[in-house]
Amino acid sequence: MTVQTSGVTATEAGLPKERAVTATGHSALPKGQRLDRVYLWMLLPGVVLFTLFITLPALMGIFFSFTNYAGFGSWKFVGLTNYTAMFDDPRILDSYGFTLQFAFVTTILANAVAFALALGLHNKIKFKAPLRTVFFIPMVISGIVIAYVFNFLFSTSIPAIATSLGITSLQESILANPSWAWVAIVLVSTWQSVPGAMIIYLAGLLAISPEVYEAASIDGASAWRKFTKVTFPLMIGYVIINTILSFKNYLNVYDIIVGLTNGGPGTETFSVAMTIFTGFTSGDYAYQMANAVVFFIVTVVFSLAQLRLLSGRQVSL
């Protein structure tokens, strides 16, 4: 629930102020003239479905976070008990720590890799089309499938290869190592999400006029100077969009972890989304609803902070 709701909040709030103003300026109707009914009718199905399936359940979730409801049977109000207990629960706090750390690292890594790949694939190279297709493949495979395939690689293939080569440090599965399992999750998530970011960067690179580079060449700029002084400044808007989108996605990380470690070893790699989900199966619905409400607020705060970065630059979501 948090997932969709926060996503929508981000997009709705996503219009930079100046734009919003000009937009209303253009479409402002002369006094007395009414808006065409057709547009309202077009909006209606969306509004009804959204209210019914997103807003109402979310509000009910918030309501039940103040109760001891198990999902069925009798319940009573318990005030803020769920919330106060939450901030005293190391499992929940650890899951926030893990999720934020994971989201930061993966956002940086995935965007760096995607940007580099986009630059490479944008240039005149051999086999451009087949290479683009190859790099695009991870995007069309579902997350849980990717996770199970990598799980096999990490727990069986890599240790087997390491054993035959005599590399002792790799003979044990990285997924079973409490201090390094999260790195495997970062790697697999990056592998999966690079194509999406790469496409946006490629589109951005295509939008840069070749004349700019011509001018830079005439001025005798080196390849590195072209990148730092021409390409990157012109791409900054795309970088910000990608960072915001991927950070929000990584905060909701779920299927990759379920397929790779299922939260283990121990509870080292429990993400917030996974913790919330345990509430449904263990009769702890209300408590995890409180967690979901807090997580929603955290996501909104991060999205708003990032949107502030965005405003003033010539881009919008």
Partner 1 sequence: MSRVSSLPVTRRTLLKAGSVSALGIGTLSACGSGGAGGTTDLSFHQSKPEVIGYFDELIKKFNAAHPKLDVTHDATTSLVAGFVREQPPDLALENYLLDVGNFVTRGALSDLSDLPEAKMIDPLVRDEVRQYASYRDETSVLPYSVTAAGVVYNKSLFEKHQQQVPTTWDELIGVCKVFQEAGVTPIYATYVDTWTTSQGLFDYVGGSMVDVAAFYDQLRQEGGDVGPDSPVSFSKDFAPAVDRMLELTKYFNENANSRDYGDGNVAFAKGEAAMYLQGPWAIGEISKLDPKMQLGTFPLGATDDPADAKARINFDLALWIPRGSSTRRQAVELLTFLMQPDVINKYNQDNLGFSPLKNAPKVTDPRIEGLQPAFDAGRIYQGAGTYVPPTIPLPNYLQELVITKNAELFLSRMDKDWARLAARTSA
**Contact flag: residue 94 with partner 1 (CB under 8 A):** no
**Contact flag: residue 145 with partner 1 (CB under 8 A):** no
**Contact flag: residue 268 with partner 1 (CB under 8 A):** yes
Shortest spacing between CB 199 and partner 1, in angstroms: 30
How many of the chain's residues bind partner 1 (CB under 8 A)? 47
Give the residue, chosen from 159, 182, 202, 291, that forms a contact with partner 1 under the rule CB under 8 A.
159
Shortest spacing between CB 195 and partner 1, in angstroms: 26
Give the residue, chosen from 91, 128, 225, 313, that forms a contact with partner 1 under the rule CB under 8 A.
91
Name the one range near partner 1 by CB under 8 A: 135-143, 155-163, 207-215, 241-249: 155-163
**Contact flag: residue 97 with partner 1 (CB under 8 A):** no
Q: Tell me whether residue 156 or residue 222 sits nearer to partner 1 (CB atom).
A: 156
Closest-CA residue to 253 (of 144, 180, 124, 136): 144
SS3 content of the chain, % helix, strand, coil (to 5): 75, 0, 25
Q: Tell me whether residue 172 or residue 226 sits nearer to partner 1 (CB atom).
A: 172
**Contact flag: residue 156 with partner 1 (CB under 8 A):** yes
Residue 32: C-alpha distances to residues 35, 86, 149, 216, 303 (Å): 10, 54, 63, 55, 38
Shortest spacing between CB 83 and partner 1, in angstroms: 11
For the chain, how many helices (H) and strands (E)?
16, 0
Give the residue, chosen from 103, 175, 186, 307, that forms a contact with partner 1 under the rule CB under 8 A.
175
Shortest spacing between CB 252 and partner 1, in angstroms: 14
Positive or negative torsion for Cα 211, 213, 215, 218: negative
The maximal CA–CA distance of the chain, rounded, in angstroms, is: 83
Closest-CA residue to 196 (of 130, 140, 235, 250): 140
**Contact flag: residue 81 with partner 1 (CB under 8 A):** yes
Alpha-carbon Rg of the chain, whole angstroms? 24
Closest-CA residue to 102 (of 251, 296, 258, 266): 251
**Contact flag: residue 311 with partner 1 (CB under 8 A):** no
Report the alpha-carbon distance of residue 284 to residue 279 in Å, rounded.
4
Residue list 42-61, contact with partner 1 (CB under 8 A): 52-53, 56-57, 60-61
Measured torsion, CA atoms of residues 143, 146, 147, 153, in degrees rounded to the nearest 10: -170
**Contact flag: residue 93 with partner 1 (CB under 8 A):** no
Closest-CA residue to 116 (of 198, 193, 187): 198
**Contact flag: residue 70 with partner 1 (CB under 8 A):** yes
Shortest spacing between CB 68 and partner 1, in angstroms: 7
Shortest spacing between CB 187 and partner 1, in angstroms: 17
- Phi/psi class of residue 89: alpha, beta or left (left: φ > 0; alpha: ψ in -120 to 50)? beta
**Contact flag: residue 262 with partner 1 (CB under 8 A):** yes
Q: Which helix (H) or strand (E) is 221 found in, with range?
A: none
Residues in contact with partner 1 by the rule CB under 8 A: 1, 52-53, 56-57, 60-61, 68, 70-74, 78, 81-82, 85, 88-89, 91, 154-156, 159, 172-173, 175-176, 178, 258, 262-268, 270, 277-284, 287
